[in-house]
């Protein structure tokens, strides 16, 4: 077990190495770096391999990312288990073995050690935490972790320290990771073993991790070993000044059992710690039995032997004065039995945990360096202090002007230092500048400039300022020029490899980054060309300019009409150029068109047309315009025709290959996409049919038209009245057609009706009716109309009763309705309260008193409906029981009040069960009632109304019988004489307060009151609750009259107005000098010289955490002597 909050063996060993001493295991300590506190793997053998579970692993050596030292300063939480990656035993360093990468990796570390033969006892405590994936492979292929101690002589692992965890979802003690992915983890777990039986023997501590051997899943572990190997109980040494001790066993075990002596007969504690007060005699033995979690070690007995520890020697060294840029060694030679802790830790190096670090000072204020020395074995502590002051040299340096500029700049940079310095020497880099010893210096070349300065006997350096002074180059753009607009000319001058070039406009030169590009213009406007020449090394640059003017040819080309059209188009395309040109030649592609030299040209075939034109001594080309001219096909819709409206006729003509056809209206031809489809009409109106013939290759098309006229039979069918009805309906329907037909025949479905040849017909049975008609030599049929003719239902019902109680009634109405047709029926029950039901037999409960009428309406599935007359049922009233009672305290009479609502019932009876040991009371109001026992009782009131005897109304209420609560004595409060202090009573038992005696308080009838410290007072607080029960609490107030000071040991700045401020009180003293508060790191977080002002638990407006803080109080006594007091105060949130 790690006995102390910080482990020091590594530090002690390191210091022994500095002294070239022989390294041996100190009594009480483990062997060198067994606990990793050197921050490396010194003394450990690291191995690694791939795809194997066989031990030992084949390769020796530390592999980064697989053998990892974890520092407490940078440790975090494991991403899968959320537990700390540093062992919670107080370590500075722990180890991570393996990682969360796959690839069938395997790693191990081992430590081999011979336990010295001269020891009387030797034990070891190590800790581990495990994370691995469960891929559900065979056990031999799963990720795993092994931890064991081996007796090297036999090669066998020791009992209780031989763990082999193979990844599995049901592995005891492991939990699933909250982020999923089949990952399981086990938090830090301790393993303790007594190795006294192996003194003089050689043992090996070994840890091994393996990924799955198939390469797809990982496994890794965290490890640590405690520093003390003489016993795993801490706190067993009595140090000077101790009045009590606390014995602490290793953390992480499932059970602890402390005993008073080796007889194991008296159990003192079952927690990790045992507090012993008064101090026990030296040599006293306290055994403790530690029980690990199942499967993680063996039950073990540890012994705490009480011993005496001496105060260690603490020496911080003498006070010193140094230059501010120097460091001085403080402290003394190290003692390997001690651990060291310096503050402020940030101003010592190389470590704040060695005996003699180097100290540095960063402010003019003297710095107090404090060393805390702890005996590693006994835990006894000591402290010493030294002050280091620093002389600071003024190293301020000013820069006026630019630090980066080119030759000829108007603002070159000048450096200067303070003219109070004793000596100055200016440097460029590491080279002193001859003669540059003044307070100001102006660089003349590029360099890194600084000054070495002297003051107060110390030498220091200013900051370094870099100067970059470049040479400005010369730019050459060349002379102005005139060219044809479609030509180019070379501009600029010869190139220089040390320079870069940038031309504008960049879009009108062949290469804008060379010294002499080709340039051109697009019109007759003079164009300015600017070259910017830059020295590549320094960035310095210059510019030059030239102008180029262009001679232009008018190459504009106009197009009138279409460029894509079919033969015969009314708007063919025409091309034209300016008539101011000197010469014109028209081209189709690359071929000149013979004779086409005019300003206008009209193409007659498809092609790409442009003109070569001349003007101002220059020749140029117009743009090219593409023409596409296609042949138009011929359409033929055929001659006009006459047909019966329900017949078809072929229209159009035979198709031609390669053409597409489209007819309208498309809905009245058999195929609108062929040349000669079948067509029809729906009535006698002549219908125009249009065919559009299209050449799909060119899109050219034409149209033709034909008319088809239909001979139409009048098939109009008229319905008079209903088509669906019940027998006897006066609105029964009939069918008819218009007169003027050659012949009429009526049908029911597919059957002609004999003799039904008139224009009108009335159906008498259910069926589907239509007529076949002849007219104009054509035959056609009407639409079909369905008739449904149905029988009426016979309606009736019987009620179950004609009366009921309003709070419990259920009337059943039995349906007796029938239908001679056998059709399905639906039902609608109507009640006079406005409600309805649609069940076959109605069940109805009425919620209010009254007479209710009932009516049944029956409807067949065909809508034939009939109803009954009205039947009446009667509902009688029932009352509602209720009562209240006065507040009750035991052995005091209280009154119950009947609050029942009788709802107008003509007769009501009452029955009370007060549950107080008395009889049932058959009265309306029971009078005064007394209870003798505190608690909750059920009181029952039964109300029975006339007509509702089977449904009495019963109410049961829980009645609280209260009793006065026990008084309590508050913690005694001490207040300096003349001071004031807010005090209060508890608020959990009542609302009314009375303080006795009525002296030295600001209010005697409130929970809160302000106490004035005159004399000691023992207060009684009488607290009454809402039931008039009275509780008496007591509070002893003591007044501090002895001269001196008073400061509480704890305060609670929670804003409740009580004990929110930690302020000192002076009694019989002259005045306050200062009051300061410091946090655990020695930082002052509160300071005041004002008497009566205290600390509110904040620093810079931020609330500070709960914990112990150090205070320093300075005041003047009556003889004007300055007194300084120190102490601690606990902040509680």
DSSP 378-433: T--EEEEEEEEEEE-----EEEESBSEEETT-SSB-EEEE-TT-SEEEEEETTEEP
In this structure, what are the phi and psi dihedrals at residue 943, rounded to the nearest 5 degrees?
Answer: -115, 125
Range 1043-1133 classified under CATH 2.60.40.1220: yes
E strand or H helix that includes residue 16: helix 9-18
Cβ atoms of residues 680 and 667 within 8 Å? no
Cβ atoms of residues 530 and 503 within 8 Å? yes
237-308: which CATH number, 3.40.50.300, 2.60.40.10, 3.20.20.450, 3.30.70.270?
2.60.40.10
Instruction: Specify the pLDDT at position 622.
Output: 92
Interatomic CA distance for residues 379 and 234, integer angstroms? 8
Instruction: Specify the pLDDT at position 27.
Output: 43
E strand or H helix that includes residue 105: strand 105-114
**Looking up tokens 């909750």, which residue turns up?**
936
Q: How far does CA 365 lie from the centroid of its chain?
A: 46
Q: CATH says 883-961 is which class?
A: mainly beta
Interatomic CA distance for residues 77 and 1124, integer angstroms? 45
Interatomic CA distance for residues 971 and 904, integer angstroms? 63
User: Which tokens go with 1016?
Assistant: 């000691």
Q: Do domains 397-470 and 1043-1133 have the same CATH topology?
A: yes
Beta bridge partners of 424: 453
**Looking up tokens 């009352």, which residue turns up?**
879
Cβ atoms of residues 693 and 713 within 8 Å? no
Beta bridge partners of 259: 267
Strands laid side by side in the 701-711 sheet: 641-644, 701-711, 687-694, 660-664
Secondary structure class of 506 (helix, strand, coil): helix
Cβ atoms of residues 475 and 531 within 8 Å? yes
Instruction: Specify the pLDDT at position 230.
Output: 66
Is the pTM here over 0.95, yes or no? no
Tell me the per-residue pLDDT of 760-813, one tens digit each, with 9 for 90 and over.
999 988 899 999 998 888 888 999 999 988 988 999 999 988 888 988 888 999
380 closest CA partner among 280, 227, 243, 235:
235
User: Which tokens go with 494?
Assistant: 């010869």
Our CA dihedral for 249, 297, 26, 384, rounded to 10 degrees, sits at -30
Instruction: Specify the pLDDT at position 1133.
Output: 86
Which residues of the chain register pLDDT less than 50? 1-27
Q: CATH says 9-225 is which class?
A: mainly beta
In this structure, what are the phi and psi dihedrals at residue 811, rounded to the nearest 5 degrees?
Answer: -95, 130
Instruction: Specify the pLDDT at position 3.
Output: 30
Instruction: Specify the pLDDT at position 252.
Output: 65
Interatomic CA distance for residues 764 and 772, integer angstroms? 20
Q: Can you give the C-alpha Rg of the chain in angstroms?
A: 56
Instruction: Specify the pLDDT at position 28.
Output: 52
Instruction: Specify the pLDDT at position 209.
Output: 94
Instruction: Specify the pLDDT at position 994.
Output: 95
Cβ atoms of residues 183 and 80 within 8 Å? yes
686 burial type by CB count under 10 A (0-12 exposed, 13-18 middle, 19+ buried):
exposed
Q: Which fold has domain 581-626?
A: Immunoglobulin-like (2.60.40)
Arch. (CATH architecture) of 797-876: Sandwich (2.60)
Range 397-470 classified under CATH 3.40.50.2020: no
Question: What DSSP state is assigned to residue 112?
Answer: E
User: What residue spans define the domains of the chain?
Assistant: 9-225, 237-308, 320-387, 397-470, 481-551, 581-626, 649-702, 717-790, 797-876, 883-961, 1043-1133
481-551: which CATH number, 2.40.70.10, 2.60.40.10, 3.40.50.720, 3.30.70.3460?
2.60.40.10
Interatomic CA distance for residues 824 and 842, integer angstroms? 18
Instruction: Specify the pLDDT at position 366.
Output: 92
Tell me the per-residue pLDDT of 271-302, one tens digit each, with 9 for 90 and over.
989 999 999 988 898 988 888 776 666 787 88
Q: Which fold has domain 717-790?
A: Immunoglobulin-like (2.60.40)
């Amino acid at each position: 077990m790690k006995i102390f909050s910080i482990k020091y063996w590594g530090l002690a060993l390191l210091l022994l190495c500095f002294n070239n001493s022989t390294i041996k295991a100190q009594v009480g300590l483990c062997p060198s770096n067994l606990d990793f506190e050197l921050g490396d793997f010194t003394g450990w053998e690291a191995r690694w391999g791939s795809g194997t579970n066989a031990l030992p692993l084949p390769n020796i050596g530390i592999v980064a990312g697989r053998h990892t030292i974890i520092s407490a300063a940078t440790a975090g939480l494991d991403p899968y288990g959320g537990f700390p990656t540093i062992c919670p035993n107080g370590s500075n360093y722990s180890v991570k073995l393996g990682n969360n990468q796959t690839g069938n990796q395997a790693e191990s570390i081992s430590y081999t050690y011979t336990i010295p033969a001269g020891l009387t006892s030797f034990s070891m405590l190590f800790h581990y935490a495990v994370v691995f994936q469960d891929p559900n492979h065979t056990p031999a292929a799963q990720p795993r972790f092994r931890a064991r101690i081996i007796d090297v002589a036999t090669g066998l692992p020791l009992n209780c320290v031989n763990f082999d965890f193979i990844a599995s979802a049901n592995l005891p003690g492991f939990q699933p990771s909250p982020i999923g992915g089949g990952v399981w983890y086990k938090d830090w777990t301790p393993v303790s073993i007594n190795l006294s039986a192996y003194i003089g023997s050689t043992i090996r501590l070994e840890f091994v991790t393996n990924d799955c051997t198939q390469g797809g899943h990982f496994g890794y572990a965290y490890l640590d070993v405690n520093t003390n190997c003489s016993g795993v109980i801490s706190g067993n040494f009595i140090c000077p000044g101790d009045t009590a001790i606390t014995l602490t066993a290793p953390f992480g075990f499932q059970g602890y059992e402390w005993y008073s002596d080796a007889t194991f007969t008296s159990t003192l504690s079952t927690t990790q710690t045992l507090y012993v007060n008064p101090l026990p005699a030296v040599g006293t033995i306290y055994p403790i039995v530690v029980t690990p979690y199942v499967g993680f070690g063996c039950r073990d007995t540890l012994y705490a032997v009480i011993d005496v520890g001496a105060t260690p020697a603490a020496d911080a060294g003498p006070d010193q004065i140094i230059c501010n840029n120097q460091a001085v060694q403080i402290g003394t030679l190290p003692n390997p039995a001690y651990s060291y802790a310096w503050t402020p830790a940030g101003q010592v190096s190389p470590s704040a945990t060695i005996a003699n670090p180097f100290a540095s000072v960063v402010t003019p204020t003297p710095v107090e360096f404090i060393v805390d020395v702890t005996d590693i074995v006994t835990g006894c502590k000591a402290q010493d202090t030294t002050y280091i002051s620093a002389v600071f040299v003024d190293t301020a340096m000013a820069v006026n002007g630019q630090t980066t500029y080119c030759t000829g700049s108007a603002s070159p940079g000048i450096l200067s230092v303070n003219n109070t310095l004793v000596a100055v020497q200016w440097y460029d880099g590491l080279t002193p500048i001859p003669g540059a010893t003044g307070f100001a210096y102006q660089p003349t070349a590029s360099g890194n400039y600084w000054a070495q300065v002297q003051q107060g006997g110390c030498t220091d350096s200013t900051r370094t300022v870099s100067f970059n002074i470049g040479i400005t180059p010369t730019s050459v753009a060349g002379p102005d020029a005139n060219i044809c607009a479609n030509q180019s000319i070379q501009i600029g001058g010869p190139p220089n490899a040390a320079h870069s070039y940038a031309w504008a406009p960049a879009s009108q030169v062949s290469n804008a980054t060379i010294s002499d590009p080709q340039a051109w213009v697009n019109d007759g406007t003079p164009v300015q060309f600017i070259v910017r020449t830059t020295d590549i090394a320094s960035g310095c640059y210059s510019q030059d300019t030239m102008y180029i003017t262009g001679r232009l040819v008018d190459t504009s080309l106009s197009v009138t009409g279409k460029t894509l059209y079919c033969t015969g188009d009314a708007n063919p395309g025409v091309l034209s150029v300016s008539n101011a040109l000197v010469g014109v030649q028209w081209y189709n592609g690359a071929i000149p068109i013979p004779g086409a030299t005019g300003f206008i040209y009209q193409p007659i075939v498809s092609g790409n047309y442009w003109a070569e034109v001349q003007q101002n001594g220059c020749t140029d080309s117009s743009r090219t315009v593409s023409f596409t001219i296609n042949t138009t096909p011929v359409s033929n819709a055929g001659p006009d025709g006459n047909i019966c409206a329900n017949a078809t006729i072929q229209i159009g003509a035979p198709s031609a290959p390669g053409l597409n056809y489209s007819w309208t209206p498309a809905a009245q031809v058999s195929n609108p996409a062929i040349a000669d489809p079948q067509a029809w009409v729906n009535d006698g109106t002549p219908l125009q049919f249009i065919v559009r013939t299209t050449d799909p290759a060119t899109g050219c098309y034409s149209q033709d038209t034909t008319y088809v006229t239909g001979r139409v039979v009048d098939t109009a069918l008229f319905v008079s009245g209903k088509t669906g009805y019940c027998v006897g309906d006066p609105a029964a329907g009939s069918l008819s057609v218009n007169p003027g037909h050659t012949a009429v025949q009526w049908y029911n479905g597919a059957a002609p009706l004999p003799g039904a040849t008139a224009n009108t017909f009335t159906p008498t049975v259910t069926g589907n009716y239509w007529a076949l008609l002849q007219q104009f030599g054509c035959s056609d049929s009407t639409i079909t109309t369905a008739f449904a003719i149905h029988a009426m239902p016979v309606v009736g019902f019987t009620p179950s009763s004609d009366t009921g109680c309003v709070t419990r009634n259920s009337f059943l109405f039995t349906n007796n309705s029938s239908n001679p047709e056998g059709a399905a029926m639906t039902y609608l029950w109507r009640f006079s309260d406005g409600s309805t039901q649609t069940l076959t037999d109605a069940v109805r409960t009425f919620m209010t008193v009254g007479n209710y009428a009932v009516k049944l309406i029956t409807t067949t599935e065909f809508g034939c409906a009939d109803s009954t007359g009205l039947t009446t049922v009667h509902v009688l009233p029932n009352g509602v029981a209720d009562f209240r009672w006065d507040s009750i305290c035991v052995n005091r009479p209280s009154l119950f009040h009947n609050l029942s609502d009788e709802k107008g019932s003509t007769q009501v009876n009452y029955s009370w069960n007060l549950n107080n040991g008395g009889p049932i009371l058959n009265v309306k109001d029971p009078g005064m009632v007394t209870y003798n026992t505190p608690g909750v009782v059920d009181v029952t009131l039964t109300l029975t109304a006339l007509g509702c005897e089977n449904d009495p109304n019963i109410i049961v209420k829980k009645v609280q019988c209260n009793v006065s609560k026990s008084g309590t004595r508050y913690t005694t409060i001490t207040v300096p004489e003349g001071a004031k202090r807010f005090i209060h009573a508890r608020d959990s038992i009542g609302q009314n307060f009375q303080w006795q005696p009525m002296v030295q308080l600001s209010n005697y009838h409130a929970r809160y009151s302000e106490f004035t410290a005159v004399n000691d007072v023992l207060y009684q607080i009488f607290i009454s609750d809402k039931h008039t029960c009275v509780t008496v609490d007591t509070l002893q107030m003591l007044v501090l009259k002895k001269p001196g000071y008073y400061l509480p040991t704890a305060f609670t700045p929670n804003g409740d107005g009580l004990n929110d401020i930690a302020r000192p009180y002076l009694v019989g003293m002259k005045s306050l000098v200062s009051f300061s508060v410091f946090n655990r790191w020695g930082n002052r977080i509160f300071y005041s010289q004002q008497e009566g002002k205290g600390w509110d638990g904040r620093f810079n407006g931020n609330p500070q955490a709960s914990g112990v803080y150090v205070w320093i109080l300075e005041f003047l006594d009556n003889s004007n002597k300055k007194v300084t007091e120190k102490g601690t105060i606990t902040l509680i949130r």
